Structure 1
Amino acid sequence: MLERQERLLDDNTELRQQIQLLAPVPGEVRLRFNPDAATQGGLALPPLPSRPPIRRMGRADRQSPRAA
C-alpha cells in the first residue's frame, strides 16, 4: 500500500511539472484548436478582432512626384 502511494505521489509530481512546462507564461497568447470543427471538414479559428475599414487612396489623395 505504501509503495502504491509513493508511486502515485511521484506520478503527481511528474504531472505537475509537465503542466508547468506546457502552461502559457503570463502575457502569452495561444490560439485554440477545435477538433470537432476539423472533423466536420473545416478548421475553426478564433474570431479576429474587428478593425476599422481601410480607406483606399484615390488619385486625388496621392501626391504626384512633381508636386513634392
Structure 2
Amino acid sequence: MTETATTHSGSVRTAIDARADELIALAPSNEALGRLDDRAAAVLRESGMMRMLQPATHGGSRRTRASSPRR
C-alpha cells in the first residue's frame, strides 16, 4: 500500500470511528430494510468509505486487480 493510500485509509477509519455510534443506532432500521437507509449511506459517503471501495476508473481510490502490481 502506498503512503497516500495508507493516509487515506487512516483518515477514513478516523471518520468512521467518530460516527460509529450513529451507524450503530441506524443498524436496526437498516436490518429491517435489508439495505442501508439514506442516512447510513450518507455517513459512509461523507467518511470517504464509499470512495475507498470504488475503483479508481470510476473516481474512487481503489485500484483494480488488473492495475495492481504483481506480487
Asked whether the two chains share a fold, i.e. TM above 0.5, the reply is no
Q: Which of these two proteins has the greater Rg computed from alpha carbons?
A: 1
Normalised TM-score (structure 2): 0.30
Choose between structure 1 and 2: higher helix proportion.
Answer: 2
